[in-house]
Amino acid sequence: MVLDIAGICIAARAQPYVHAALAAIDPDGPCTVLGHARKLGVEGAAFINGIAAHGEDFDDTYEGGPVHAGVVIVPALLAAAERHGFSGEDFLRGLAIGTEVMCRLCSVAPTKVHKAGFHPTAVFGVMGAVAGVGAALRLTEGQLVDAFGIAGSMASGIIEYLADGSWTKRMHPGWAAQSGYRAVRLAREGFKGPRTVFEGSHGLFHGFANTAAGDFDAMMAGFGATWIWPTIAFKPYACGTMCHPYIDCAREFGKLGIDPAAIAGIECEAAEGVLHRLWEPLDQKRSPPNGYAAKFSVPYAIAVAIVRGDAGLREYDDVIVEDPTILAVASKVSYVVDPHNPYPRQFTGHVRVRLVDGKVHEFRQGYFKGGVDHPLSDEDLTRKFQANCAYGGLAKDDTQGLLAHVHALFDSPAVDFAPFAR
């Protein structure tokens, strides 16, 4: 997870949204911003690293949410570690506990946070950051209770970015990371927060899931004995996770070598729970206004996978998104709702291609490549890291140095990424 996040931060370091966010931070400080020479205070570094890590939508995903844990927990802990002198063991403790808490929160009211118009990574991320930083700093029970209570008033993140592909989703993990740290610091100094922040009549789930009937037993089942964070998935494609099985199906069709102009129509089975984010409004999803909006479009994902055979960082450049061949294929993609789709427990894909001569080619995939049942190998993740560093313009020697540094991180006496601030 740390390696994946570091590589994505490097890949995104020259992007305009990163530069805009960095320019908006005034005070410098002791904490590393990955891929940049400038160092910031704890909140600033957590904010920028969180934005960069999530900005290309190439980061890890917990399928049961879905939430993106690494983009919150790693930036929060990295900044806190350099400010407070964490050892690698402290960092690992915080990483495991923060990620576990963030993922477990997803089981209380599945899909309801998204349906209420909020981004679960943003809402649950601030709580995960509290758990991670609080565990690394070894807060008392009372301090942790206060920190969670405080963080409830810092949770935020609406999903209106879906309307036009604007940048606010990119900001959410950074905001959660810095806010979680701030809540911990306030609690450590004696600031009080509500004890019933999760289950209260005006608590987190009332506000962000519109429910007072959450399944807290599911959240707590096996807590402290059974870990769910090892099921986290890593992305092979730079777009919304639920698009990935469709991309795999589309790439299988692409291998047939059939001219895209011979396609009469493409029908897909889809989960009802993702329609409002990845399929609707269908006309807009077929012709996204920019590369970022395209990351949340299944029609575009299918089309670019057929035409270009991949869905990496370059396939979501604004120029590529305007390719008339890709848009022509995307315009032919439609869906029907599959009432038996297992989302959010499992992400699936289905592509049924009908050609102008009447022939039909159909592909199904019942899993997310990169997920727990079909994980990427260590070698896959290393290649992804190296490719991301190359995309971000990091020299090969520096890339190998960062790779070695991450591999030794948990055994190090002090967490320090300053040698890679450039």
Domains and CATH numbers, the chain: 1-235+376-420 (1.10.4100.10), 241-365 (3.30.1330.120)
Q: At what angle do helices 168-188 and 120-137 cross, to 10 degrees?
A: 30
Q: What letter represents residue 150's amino acid?
A: I
**For the stretch 357-385, what's the b/e string if a residue is b when 16 or more beta carbons lie within 10 angstroms of its beta carbon?**
eeeebebebebbbbbeeebbeeeebeebb
Residue 163 bridge partners (DSSP): none
pLDDT (0 to 100) of residue 368: 87
Residues 406 and 402: their CA atoms lie apart, in Å, by 6
C-beta of residue 46 within 8 angstroms of C-beta of residue 128: no
CA distance 64 to 99: 13
**Closest by Cα among 288, 312, 310 to 299:** 288
Given this model, what pLDDT does residue 345 score? 82
pLDDT value at residue 421: 81
CA 359 remoteness from chain centre:
38
Q: What is the pLDDT of residue 382?
A: 98
Q: How far apart are CA 30 and CA 416, in angstroms?
A: 10
The kind and range of the H/E element at 264 are strand 263-270
pLDDT of the chain, 422 residues: tens digit per residue: 999 999 999 999 999 999 999 999 999 999 999 999 999 999 999 999 999 999 999 999 998 888 999 999 999 999 999 999 999 999 999 999 999 999 999 999 999 999 999 999 999 999 999 999 999 999 999 999 999 999 999 999 999 998 999 999 999 999 999 999 999 999 999 999 999 999 999 999 999 999 988 999 999 999 999 999 999 999 999 999 999 999 999 999 999 999 999 999 999 999 999 999 999 999 999 999 999 999 999 999 999 999 999 999 999 999 999 999 999 999 999 999 999 999 988 899 999 999 999 999 999 999 989 988 899 999 999 999 999 999 999 999 999 999 999 999 999 999 999 998 88
352 secondary structure, DSSP code: E
Residue 334 pairs in a beta bridge with: 267
Q: How far apart are the first and last CA of the chain?
A: 22
For 139, 160, 399, the CA distances from 10, given in Å and listed in that order, are 32, 27, 10
For residue 224, count CB atoms less than 10 angstroms from its CB and return exposed for 0-12, middle for 13-18, buried for 19 or more. exposed
Q: Distance of CA 264 to CAs 100, 332, 352, 355, Å?
A: 46, 7, 11, 5
What pLDDT, on the 0 to 100 scale, is given for residue 222? Answer: 96
> Are 83 and 124 contacting, i.e. CB atoms less than 8 angstroms apart?
no
pLDDT score recorded for residue 78: 98
* pTM as predicted: 0.94
Q: Which residue has the tokens 């649950």?
A: 124
The pairing of beta strand 333-337 with beta strand 263-270: parallel
Structure-token pair, residue 354 = 């009908």
Rounded Cα distance, 56 and 9, in Å: 9
Q: What distance in Å separates the CA atoms of residue 96 and residue 318, rounded to the nearest whole number?
A: 36
Tokens at 310, concatenated: 């991949």
